[in-house]
Amino acid sequence: MAYIALYRKWRPGTFGDLVGQEHISRTLSNAITTGRIGHAYLFSGPRGTGKTSTAKILAKALNCEHGPTPEPCGKCAACQKINDGTSMDVFEIDAASNRGIDEIRDLRETVKFAPVDGRYKVYIIDEVHMLTTEAFNALLKTLEEPPAHVVFILATTEAHKVPPTIQSRCQRYDFKRITVEEIRGRLETVVAEMGLKAEAEALDMIAIQADGGLRDALSLLDQCSALAEGELTAARVRQVLGLIGHDWIYKLTEAIYARKSQVALGVLAELLRDGKDLKQVLTELSLHLRSLMIYQATGTLEQMDLYAEPDEVLQEQGKFFSTEDLMAMLKRLHEALAEIKWSPQPRITVEVALMALCNPVTSGAVPQAAGAAVDDGRLAQLEAKLSQMAAQLAARPVAAAAQAGTRAPAAQRSAAAAQGTAPRADVSVEPMPQAEVVPITASDAEVWDRLLMTLKERNKMPVFACMNQGQFAGMSDTQFFVKFKGVLMADLAMRNYRALLEQLLEELTGRPLHLHCSGEDMPLTPPPKPVKKKTAPPPAEEPSIHVDLDAMPPEERAPLEKAFEIFGDHVVEIEDDKQ
């Protein structure tokens, strides 16, 4: 005997067999019992929810030799022919491939003729929303004056695309997604009748994977059971469906909690070697995190259409993260899921996402845009980098030249030059646009210079390194303005160093001054080179530090360059020293 796919073999034969659509089967049964048959029906709903099956049952119910009856026998010649698709009175039209006016014109010709052996001619038009406008118009004419022996059943997954003029001529039935519970129940029946043994978890997985469609669930069961010898196990289903499985996902979750990105990437590598799909990894990790979130909130996963997960795991891993953490993580995973569709290197996308989860400081939870609030963790990190950089700067003899406060051209020569190495290129602080609020006088500028100097003298290197990136923007009797090229540094100064700076300013000027630090977002490209002016710039705009980047050993240069990269600032620019 030829092999019959499960979903065909187990296609519901009567309204009673329909799974999850009781509201529809009841109404249609009543209509047939009471003889109130409509001329046009619109069945709408997701794929695999039983629209075509219901149409076939209705056709049989109308044409069964023992009918019309809500329970067609399925055995008489009329029922058999409808089952086989050989009935002369039941027409199935796939609008996805027959979209045009010609098919509908043919249809209009044939509807006139009486049924061959049954009582009704039944036209089932699948995916009816695909018809062209002309075809819809032609169909509408038929629907307006249907012959008494004709029943139209229009099926669609997208009812909103069916013109209202058509919809208003139809009795509409909305098919709902079938719940995991209902699908599992159906699978249990099928498995029992097939004489197959199956683990409950195996059926669970199939039911969830089918995503509301019974036809898909039966196809999946078909695939899995064809390979199953003896019992259908969860492991077998996982293998056939390419599922990742709890153990791996739990391992991954633990690695994320412990912030062991190496372990997480190791798990990913192993899964990929095993032929698993990147998308599936992200999906199952999201499902697990969702379980943790729901478990935290409700203490149970019942009625949630989720994989059964052991309570002890949920209890243990549920403590790993706060609800906010879980929400941020799910958001990051969903972003990654969307990104991998277009990413030229999807594996890297997933790796970046996992790294971000392992290292929440840099995860999507922190807005990337400059100007957004910067959290303390990231600030602390930046500060550590800053002091490192400042220490390196201070260690350079060139810094000493600036400390001396001399601005003579001779002092601008790099220390490297003084030490006899080649003075190929100087790095100088680039003059920034001045704040125009307050005019800057020479004595005001001196306050700024002395402020920086004092910071160094008192060994406040992180503060110095921060302020040294700023540009004095003027002062009044009560206020002191500093401008930065990025909001990050301005924010750092105001949040962490303000008290110290205001105290120093008072010492230097003898009056209380309010510090104002502001920053502007930098363009991604470095600013254009300033036109070199031969006229001496005002002292306030003099470069205060000269660093010969080229002369630096790479191990010193790298952190500096990294720092500039992190801050997005191009404070230094390499210029040829023409003098």
State how far the Cα of 516 lies from the Cα of 473, in Å rounded to an integer. 9
Smallest separation, CB 12 to Zn ion (Å) = 15
- The radius of gyration computed from the CA coordinates of the chain, to the nearest angstrom, equals 37
Q: Which is nearer to Zn ion, 76 or 111 (CB)?
A: 76
Least CB distance to Zn ion at residue 66 (A): 6
Alpha helices in 361-497 (DSSP H): 376-395, 397-403, 409-412, 415-418, 442-457, 461-467, 487-492
Please state the closest distance from residue 115 (CB atom) to Zn ion, in A.
Answer: 15
Within 10 Å of residue 103's Cβ, how many Cβ atoms? Answer: 19
**Closer residue to Zn ion, CB minimum distance, 79 or 190:** 79
CB of 68 to Zn ion, least distance (A): 10
**Minimum CB separation from Zn ion for residue 19, in Å?**
22
- Map the footprint of Zn ion across residues 64-93, applying CB under 5 A: 64, 72-73, 76, 79
Kindly provide the b/e burial profile for residues 400-413, where b requires at least 16 CB atoms within 10 angstroms of the residue's own CB.
Answer: ebbeeeebeeebbb
Piece of 58-66, 150-158, 175-183, 317-325 that binds Zn ion (CB under 5 A): 58-66
CA distance 225 to 231: 9
For 238, the token pair is: 């996982």
- Which range in 61-69, 96-104, 453-461, 518-526 contacts Zn ion by CB under 5 A? 61-69
Smaller CB separation from Zn ion, 13 or 45: 13
Q: How far is the CB of 153 from Zn ion (least distance, A)?
A: 18
Binding-residue total with Zn ion (CB under 5 A): 5
Identify the CA nearest to 42 among candidates 170, 231, 191. Answer: 170
Q: Which is nearer to Zn ion, 64 or 187 (CB)?
A: 64
Which of these, 322, 292, 323, 325, lies nearest to 306 by C-alpha position? 292
The window from 57-65, 149-157, 380-388, 477-485 that contacts Zn ion (CB under 5 A) reads 57-65
Candidate segments 62-70, 154-162, 255-263, 354-362, binder of Zn ion by CB under 5 A: 62-70
**Among all chains, which residue has been given the structure tokens 């039209």?**
93
Query: CB–CB of 401/546 below 8 Å?
Result: yes
Q: Which amino acid is it at 497? A: Y
By beta-carbon proximity to Zn ion, the closer residue of 79 and 350 is: 79
Q: What is each CA distance from 430 to 400, 475, 516, 539, 556, in whole angstroms?
A: 19, 21, 21, 13, 21
Please report, as residue ranges, which positions from 471 to 530 form the binding site for Zn ion (by CB under 5 A).
none
Query: Residue 121 or 177: which CB sits closer to Zn ion?
Result: 121
- Nearest residue (CB) to Zn ion, 78 versus 289: 78
Task: Bin 405: left if φ > 0, else alpha if -120 < ψ < 50, else beta.
Answer: left
Least separation in angstroms between CB 82 and Zn ion: 9
Q: Which residue lies nearer to Zn ion by CB, 76 or 379?
A: 76
Task: Quote the least distance from Cβ 63 to Zn ion, whole Å.
Answer: 8
Residues that bind Zn ion (CB under 5 A): 64, 72-73, 76, 79
